[in-house]
Structure 1
Amino acid sequence: AAEDYALGTVITGKVARMTDFGAFVELAPGVDALLHVSQISRAHVDKPSDVLSVGQEITAQVVDLNEAEKKISLSMKALEQPEEASEETDAE
């Protein structure tokens, strides 16, 4: 999995299930990655279910890979256009 999901890789996956802290995205059968709520958008998101739905296909970037624990972290925020963020000056 390390080659397929190297840091910085842009992947497409399906939202498999939601939690209060993020969404689990199925990248391949048996391979789930966490899209943390803070990584969904540059705009503040209270709950992942506010902007995502189970079964939805999303495109995200791999931002962390822990092979020992088989954990992959994703970010959709990393793919957003930076000019959208320049209007927001408050740091979260």
Structure 2
Amino acid sequence: MTRSRLKPVRDFAWLLRRHVDDVLNWFKVPISNGSVKAMDNKAISHHTRGYRSEKWFGTIMLHYMGKLPMPEFIHRFAWGSRFYYVANLFN
């Protein structure tokens, strides 16, 4: 198949060649990781509840999916002459 004149066929053949171990592992142990990914997505969406706009929801989802570190403090506000910090509740 890698000598085919059709580029899509060659690309597919090289893809199979690169991932032959993973393909064969599926036939040895046919277990999918779909349920693990579903639980992970549910946990992520649980952390993003309560945001008022879809923009913030999407931002937090991308933040979690990229495994970026959460800041220690996420908001600073002034009360009189003092500054107060709202701690990060996700850690």
- Could you say which TM-score interval applies, normalised by the shorter chain? under 0.3
Highest Rg: 1 or 2?
2
Higher relative contact order (CA 8 A, sep 6+): 1
After TM superposition, the score normalised by the length of structure 1 is: 0.22
After TM superposition, the score normalised by the length of structure 2 is: 0.22
Higher helix share: 2
